[in-house]
Structures are given as C-alpha cells and as structure tokens.
Amino acid sequence: MDYTHYRLCESYREGRFIRNRTLLSVGDLETELPADKIGLLCKRINQVYYEGKTFIISTLRDKKVEALCMEYVSRLREAEKAVKEKNKVLGIEEVYVDKTTNSDVREVGAEWLCRQACGQLLLPEYFETFGWDKQSASLAHRLYREKDGLERHFSNRTNDLFSLDDKILVFDLSNTFFEGRMQNSRLAAFGRSKKKGNDAKQVVFAAVVNPEGFLKESQIFRGNMSDPAGLLHMLGKLKAHRGGHGKKQIVVMDAGIATKDNLAML
C-alpha cells in the first residue's frame, strides 16, 4: 500500500546553491487532516512560526488546522531551543544580522592599521598645508583634486620611511572598457584593447612604481592613445616633482613601449 510521510522543511542559501533541511518530521499527516487542508496548515505554520501571526479572522479559522499548527510550532520551537543549547555548549552563538544594531562601535585590525599608515605618511599634516579643516581632512573630501600632489607626497614620504632612492622605475600601461556609451566622457574612446576587443569605449591607465611596489605616478589617458606615447608624459611628471636630483635611473618597460624614439629620449 502507498504511504506518504510529511516533513516540515526550510530552504537556505549556501554560496551559490539553494539547499533544503528538515526541521520536523510529522509522519502520516493525512490521518490527522483532509488532504485539501494540508496547504492551509503549511501556510499557518509559516505565519505563526516565522512571522508571529497567531491571530486569524474567525470566518477563516479551522479548528483542526489551528490545533495542529500550534502543536507543530511548539515542537519546532522545542527543537530550535535544543539546537541553541547544544551550540551554546560548543561556544556557538546565533546572530541575526538583519535585526542587529550597533552604537558607539570600537574596532581594531584593518582600520587601525590604516590609521597608523596614514599617520606615518603624515596625511593630516599634508592636508593642513592646503588649509583643510579637521572634518574635511578626516572624511577625505576633495581628494581627487589633490591626486597629483598626494602621489608626490606618498612617493617622497615612503622613500623617507624606507630609505629608498628609486634608482629603478617600472613603467606599464593597461586599459579597461565600459559597458555603456560614455557619450559625455572626455577620455573614453575606441582603441586597441589589451583583451583584443574593439566594440566598446575604453580608457588607458599608466603607472610608474619602484621595485618595492610603491606608486610613483599614475595617469588616466584617452582610450585611443598608443602605448609608447604615455612614457614621455609620465617621466615628465616624475622629473617635475623630483626637482632634477641628478641621479641616474633605470626605466623598465616592455617591448611595446620601447620604441626607437622612446629609447632615444631616455
């Protein structure tokens, strides 16, 4: 003979996958309730257990459904309580992130490390040279307008902190494309993409770093700029903020940038 065994289950997400787990096994439910009322029972269990809606209009109330609902909700809560007690013994506490509030938060770790780095780089003192008030400095307002100055400051400060002389400079370019039309952009343009595509507008970005990985200069160029053309501009910026210290330097670049004109210029 056929036998149907009912279980109360819930769905949950695990990474990219939706999985199910059994909360309560209720057995042969059809001996307790007509088959056409089982859907109503499931709905009422959801309402009472998950949403806390115990009230129902009397005209929609089914005594048998309500009695079974309260029985199963009680068993679900007992099972939930047992799991929490077991987890507590193991040192595990459940936190509902959508119901958690914080105030007067104090953190250490990555934030404190960043704060220390900002202090060692003398960022507050740098901002004060522009007459920024404390609020503007702490919230990092107007940073992009100070990009070139900040890069020069970082370059000089990291050299002082770690006794670097930037004898070797590494120069390279790459590009990134946009999904939209970028009609109002002054820089986005069709050009030769590093990913071999030519159907989207892009920008070219260049960077100069030292062997220790500290950024010396960076710049965003029009998307149709050729790779060799960026070198002269970037080295000109470097020369301007170094004040012509007279030290010989080695520039490392790939073959696509090392044209005859660029080698002669160097």
pTM for the complete prediction? 0.48
Output DSSP code: residue 60. G
d(CA 77, CA 217): 61
Distance of CA 98 to the CA centre of its chain: 19
Three-state secondary structure call for residue 247: coil
Query: What tens digit of pLDDT does each residue of 166-192 get?
Result: 888 888 888 888 888 888 999 999 988
pLDDT, tens digit only, all 266 positions of the chain: 677 888 888 888 888 889 998 888 888 888 888 888 888 888 888 888 888 877 776 767 888 888 898 999 999 999 888 888 888 888 888 777 777 777 766 666 777 888 888 889 888 888 888 777 777 766 666 777 788 888 888 888 998 989 988 888 888 888 888 888 888 999 999 988 877 777 889 999 888 898 898 988 888 889 988 888 888 888 777 776 554 455 778 888 888 888 888 888 88
Query: What tens digit of pLDDT does each residue of 212-240 get?
Result: 989 888 888 899 888 888 888 887 777 76
Identify residue 34 by its one-letter amino acid code. Answer: P
Give just the sign of the alpha carbon dihedral 98, 99, 101, 106: negative
Cβ-in-10-Å burial (0-12, 13-18, 19+) of 154 comes to middle
The predicted pLDDT at position 219 comes to 87
Identify residue 15 by its one-letter amino acid code. Answer: G
Which residue, 266, 264, 175, is CA-closest to 227? 175
d(CA 218, CA 237): 10
Which strand (E) or helix (H) includes residue 133?
none
Structure-token pair, residue 185: 């952009």
d(CA 49, CA 77): 8
Domain regions of the chain by residue span: 6-98, 165-265
